[in-house]
Amino acid sequence: MPLPGLDAFFAFPAAQRGPLLLEGIRASHRYHFERNAAYRRTVRARGVGSDVGHDDLPRLLRPAALTFKSYVETIGPFPQDDPRGFLAWLDDQLSIPLPEDRQGALRRRYATMEGLLAAAEHAYADLGLELVTSSGTSGIASVVARDATTVDLAVRSFFTGIQRSWGISRGAALVFVMPENTRVAMARSARIGTRQLDWAADTAVYYTMPFSATPDRIRLRAGRTYRPGPRGVVESRILHPLMAWADARLVAQKYVGVTLSRLRELTAAGRPLMLLGGLAQLHAVALESRVDLPAGSRVATGGGTKEQYPFTPDQIRADLVAAFGGAPVSDVYGMAEADWAAFECPRGNYHIPPWVYAVVTDDADRIVQAPVASGLLAFFDPVAGGDLIPPFFQTADRVTLVNGGAHYDPGLVCDCGYDSPHIAGRIQRVDLMEEAGCAAQI
Amino acid sequence: MNRSGRYTAAFDGFWLPRSMREKVLSGATWETAYLRGGALVQPPAGGTTLTGAAENSAVTVRWPRLTPEQWTTLLAGLQASRTVAGAETAARWQVALENALAPLAEQMPDMLPLLSASTGYTPEMLTAALAGSDLVDPSSLAAALGFRPAWSVATRWETLPGLGGRIRFFPQGVSARARAVLTGNAPLFRPVPPVDLTLGYAAGNVPGTALIISLLGSLANHAAPDGTPAPAAVVRNSRHEPLFTPWVLSAVEAVDPDLVAGLAVMIWDYDDPALQALLFRSAGLMLAAADDGTIAALDAWRARYAPDLRFHRHGHKVSFVTLGSHWAARPDAPHQAALDSSFWDQNGCLSARVHFVEAGAPEYARALADEMRSLSQVLPRGATPRRFTHRAFDSYASLTGSGRVRMLSEYDDDFAVILDDRPWDAGALRRAANYCQGRVVVVRPVDDVMEVPRLLRGLPAPNLQSMGVLLDSGRLEPFAQEVGARGVTALRSLGRGAFPQLAYSWDGLLPMDICHLRPLGQFTTIEPEPSSTSDLGV
């Protein structure tokens, strides 16, 4: 049975979504199991075949970070040194074959990861290949492939959420405190979306981070993974401190200035706007100056705080509200590996799109069966996940999920009226064990 | 404490000498926590306090939140209670622990469910660990404290007098190494001024850390002039492991109340600047066994409040096993090595992660998997998340296509054993070591055991700790020399990984370091084959 389109899911009775999505998951699994070598290897080792039942669902979930950083195990953390090895890894990860005749178009090596990813995108431009990356703190980038179809689904998902959850639609100005040229998934979705959905035609769109954010820059900035040998010494002793200094002294000053100038300009014109950026970046803007945004405007934060930051999210939000004239401040939760995002509603809950089958798993990787369940968030996205990569992933985020999976309690529908699975309360990253003592990772 | 627990509203997750409890706790406010499976949980519905007897029940624990005045009273009281001479302390501990064993054994059936609920480890594992605890021989401490090494120990392996085993010092820096050659007979240690207070911080990932820190901290004045009393000690314990140390200290107090009259094991918030400042400024020595983040935070407090405070750090560490080619001639080798990786579910620094095998690695890996499967029955894993094991399984299962990685376990096993024969660089070793948590062993074939120190070069030396070894006697010392130079601080027999002897090097520090100063560097010890016939029951 074909699955309905994204918009149709909003009208579909919530109690009936589960069975429909489960059927979609089975079909999606069968499709990818037959075509995707990496996925098949993983789930087969877990004892899963091409046909699955409800009990098999947890065994279809792959940890997102593990999956999209797995190139490290085969070609090392610097794929630019082995472009063919990288393409072989990519081919292994995809459910469509990468035409082999393009490999000759790639050089033997690239100076940067950005160079390699751009060349690979160029070589497979006819597929609409987009390689987005995470902005993780380890410096090792998750590399997630999207094709024209999944890009389209991701941006439609993102902009559908913006419209439905926050009431931001075409005509409102968009100010993104992020670079226009980046591979970070949400920023790229924003850029592609405004272009592809033709918002830019009647919507002013601004990117106020006047520097590119390539995976190489992000790695150096993180300061945890360096090239081997003398180059690594230069990176660790010179480039990393230099970037830290430049970020603190120059970059912040620059984007804060550009952002404030855009906000003042739009405010003077009385044009409602959505200001979107990372918590720390928006906080820097808020601490610099106060701008009373026009009615109908919204401030949107995303990405959490990646590094130690001396203010809590609650403190930052309070500062944002005060600095931007009481405009509502909302958060968005998303990740490179997902073609969807969860938007925070006025009740403080993060709504997962109704076409996503979201669950939480316990410490033994079992799905927690309850309408209100706490554990690590995992999701199956048989509708918008596309045909490129099996869209079944376990995140490293501990959440409390309401009305997720097969559970639906009408009494637990969010007071905001949006009837979808939602994350209640805080989202906590659990990469490391709590009180790990002497045994943590090195 | 009501040991049966059935009628107790909450167990005391702290320890104060009997003589001070009333004085300090009068009017105190209390923090109550509920622990199940080693994790803090929400209060049971209806406010029922559970007692640990029932399956899956939470244990209710409380500790006082002292006011600044109460802290001042406590510190003054501890100082006033210092009556045991510093030089006598080790011997008093030895006697007290020996005499406390019988009552502790008697109380064990009641305590076991409580310890299991609070730590998350299974009763079987706790029982086996405590059964092996006579391998932690306090009597050897006295011998260790009598050890007076000269600089020559930085140039050769020396025998530890009265202890057996061998020791070598690896000094930091070229000038120190040169000095070792030039002044071989000069003493390495020099005394430190007496200490009035030892401050300790203990993580809760493995039971008993607070007890060890309490004991070591009390030895700080061992070498002080006659008549100097042992220091008072205040140890900050973990909310995740609040019961074991108070239990043992209560038994010790029943035997020798003066010995522990100057000791307090409490729980307080790190983020309490006034209290931290008071404690740091009052202390002469600080010991911490914690994660690197906590140690960095303690260093920051120290820099702010007491830059001269001596600080012994025990942070993130990883341990390994190395087997020489004759391992197959020792039929119990896989079993012993399996113990080294199963105790505490690799939730502690002592647990062996990667096993380096010189010959017959595929056969070893199979035998090891069989042993770990057996151990999962008799020494069941605790609450350490199974997802750690699954993540390692998934990661390596995805590499089996290369033909150089083999899985020796199934996804549903309680453990994972992987044979990884791919070319390795420093990154591969680091990733393998990081995957080995939750009973995960990566078996690494090596052509020669001397490849191991070369591989270890890729890991940060401060993160290396123990090496379980099965090597011919003639190869042991050269191997120890090389891995010691890389940063390994202890070599011990297979099967003894979870039971280090306090008398030997703990993260490069000897008991003598508690009461002396010496040049920067690390001690590496080769612990002798245990003469103990202790049966772990597994």
Total-model pTM = 0.90
Pairing of strands A422-429, A392-402: antiparallel
Region A160-172: what's the mean pLDDT? 83
Q: Phi and psi at residue A401, in whole multiples of 5°?
A: -105, 135
Give yes or no: residues A48 and A191 share one domain.
Answer: no
CB-facing half-sphere around the CA of A251: CA atoms within 13 A: 18
Contact A439 B437 (CB under 8 A): yes
**Is residue A233 assigned to a domain?**
yes
In the block, residue with structure tokens 């050890």: B147
Give yes or no: residues A201 and A188 share one domain.
Answer: yes
- Which residue in A42, A73, A395, A433 has the most chain B C-beta atoms within 10 A of its own C-beta, making it the best mutation to test that interface? A73
Q: Which of A66, A73, A434 sits opposite B391 (nearest CB)?
A: A66
Give yes or no: residues A363 and A306 share one domain.
Answer: no
Contact B394 A364 (CB under 8 A): no
Confidence of residue A435 (pLDDT cuts 50, 70, 90): very low
Give yes or no: residues A189 and A41 share one domain.
Answer: no
Give yes or no: residues A190 and A300 share one domain.
Answer: yes
DSSP notation for A35-85: H-HHHHHHHHHTT--SS--GGGHHHH-EEHHHHHTTHHHHH-S-GGG-HHH
User: What pLDDT, on the 0 to 100 scale, is given for residue B528?
Assistant: 87
User: What pLDDT, on the 0 to 100 scale, is given for residue A307?
Assistant: 58
Contact B463 A442 (CB under 8 A): yes
Closest CA to B5 of B109, B105, B110, B108: B110
Confidence of residue A2 (pLDDT cuts 50, 70, 90): low
Give yes or no: residues A333 and A349 share one domain.
Answer: no
Residues A368-421 pLDDT 10s: 999 999 999 999 999 887 889 999 999 989 999 999 998 999 999 999 988 999
Residue B369 has pLDDT above 80, yes or no: yes
Amino acid at A123: A
Residue A5 has pLDDT above 80, yes or no: no
Q: Which CATH number fits domain B318-506: 3.90.1580.10, 1.10.8.10, 3.40.309.10, 3.40.50.2000?
A: 3.40.309.10
Partners of residue A440 in chain B, C-beta under 8 Å = 291-292, 316
Question: Tokens standing for A35?
Answer: 């075509």
Note the Cα A271 to chain centre separation in Å: 29
- Which range among A65-69, A132-136, A284-288, A321-325 shows the weakest confidence by mean pLDDT? A132-136
**Is residue A103 assigned to a domain?**
no
Residue B86 has pLDDT above 70, yes or no: yes
**Is residue A29 assigned to a domain?**
yes
What is the domain range of residue A302?
A: 150-344
Higher-scoring residue by pLDDT: B308, A434: B308
User: What pLDDT, on the 0 to 100 scale, is given for residue B133?
Assistant: 66
- What is the Cα–Cα distance from A354 to A340, expressed in whole angstroms? 10
DSSP notation for B508-535: TB-HHHHSEE--SEEEEEEPPPP-----
Partners of residue A74 in chain B, C-beta under 8 Å = 399, 402
Region B63-90: what's the mean pLDDT? 95
User: What pLDDT, on the 0 to 100 scale, is given for residue A308?
Assistant: 62
Give yes or no: residues A225 and A329 share one domain.
Answer: yes
Write the CATH number for A279.
3.40.50.980
Higher-scoring residue by pLDDT: B453, A430: B453
Region B93-118: what's the mean pLDDT? 92
Closest CA to B465 of B514, B508, B512: B508
Residue B111 has pLDDT above 90, yes or no: yes
Residues B227-285 pLDDT 10s: 899 999 999 999 988 999 999 999 999 999 999 999 999 999 888 889 999 999 999 99
For chain A, what is the domain count? 2
Contact A439 B346 (CB under 8 A): yes
Residue A306 has pLDDT above 70, yes or no: no
- Which residue in B345, B387, B486 has the most chain A C-beta atoms within 10 A of its own C-beta, making it the best mutation to test that interface? B387
In the block, residue with structure tokens 């995809």: A94
Give yes or no: residues A275 and A396 share one domain.
Answer: no
In sequence order, what E strands does B42-189 have?
59-65, 158-159, 166-171
User: What pLDDT, on the 0 to 100 scale, is given for residue A432?
Assistant: 39
Region A49-60: what's the mean pLDDT? 95
The domain boundary residue, chosen from A317, A344, A371: A344
Partners of residue A365 in chain B, C-beta under 8 Å = 386-387, 390
Give yes or no: residues A340 and A360 share one domain.
Answer: no
Confidence of residue A228 (pLDDT cuts 50, 70, 90): confident
User: What pLDDT, on the 0 to 100 scale, is given for residue B1?
Assistant: 42
**Is residue A264 assigned to a domain?**
yes
Q: Phi and psi at residue A184, in whole multiples of 5°?
A: -60, 130
**Is residue A71 assigned to a domain?**
no
User: What pLDDT, on the 0 to 100 scale, is given for residue A4?
Assistant: 67
Confidence of residue B3 (pLDDT cuts 50, 70, 90): very low
Partners of residue B427 in chain A, C-beta under 8 Å = 72, 76-77
For residues B459, B462, B468, B474, the Cα torsion angle rounded to the nearest 10 degrees is 90
Residues A309-319 pLDDT 10s: 778 888 999 99
**Is residue A442 assigned to a domain?**
no
User: What pLDDT, on the 0 to 100 scale, is given for residue B56?
Assistant: 60
Cβ of residue A314 closer than 8 Å to a chain B Cβ: no
Contact B385 A363 (CB under 8 A): yes
Note the Cα B238 to chain centre separation in Å: 14
Confidence of residue B334 (pLDDT cuts 50, 70, 90): very high
Partners of residue B317 in chain A, C-beta under 8 Å = 438-439
Q: Which of A47, A72, A438 sits opposite B349 (nearest CB)?
A: A438
Give yes or no: residues A412 and A325 share one domain.
Answer: no
The chain-wide mean pLDDT, for chain B, equals 91
- Which range among A124-138, A183-197, B99-113 shows the weakest confidence by mean pLDDT? A183-197
Contact A45 B315 (CB under 8 A): no
Residue B164 has pLDDT above 90, yes or no: no
Residue B217 has pLDDT above 50, yes or no: yes
Residue A434 has pLDDT above 50, yes or no: no
The domain boundary residue, chosen from A299, A318, A344: A344
Domain residue limits, chain B: 151-182, 318-506
Give yes or no: residues A201 and A260 share one domain.
Answer: yes
Residue B9 has pLDDT above 80, yes or no: no
User: What pLDDT, on the 0 to 100 scale, is given for residue B7?
Assistant: 37
Give yes or no: residues A402 and A355 share one domain.
Answer: yes
The domain boundary residue, chosen from A344, A378, A401: A344
Region B138-151: what's the mean pLDDT? 85
Contact A73 B431 (CB under 8 A): yes
Region B151-176: what's the mean pLDDT? 92
Point out which residues pair with A423 in neighbouring strands.
A350, A401
Residue B376 has pLDDT above 90, yes or no: yes
**Is residue A267 assigned to a domain?**
yes
Residues A332-342 pLDDT 10s: 998 888 888 89
- Which range among A303-312, B46-55, B237-246 shows the weakest confidence by mean pLDDT? B46-55
Residues A126-154 pLDDT 10s: 988 999 988 666 778 899 998 888 888 88
Cβ of residue A234 closer than 8 Å to a chain B Cβ: no
Partners of residue A42 in chain B, C-beta under 8 Å = 394, 397-398
For residue A91, the SS3 value is helix
Contact B291 A437 (CB under 8 A): yes
Residue B221 in contact with residue B229, Cβ under 8 Å?
A: yes
Residues A29-52 pLDDT 10s: 999 999 999 999 999 999 999 999
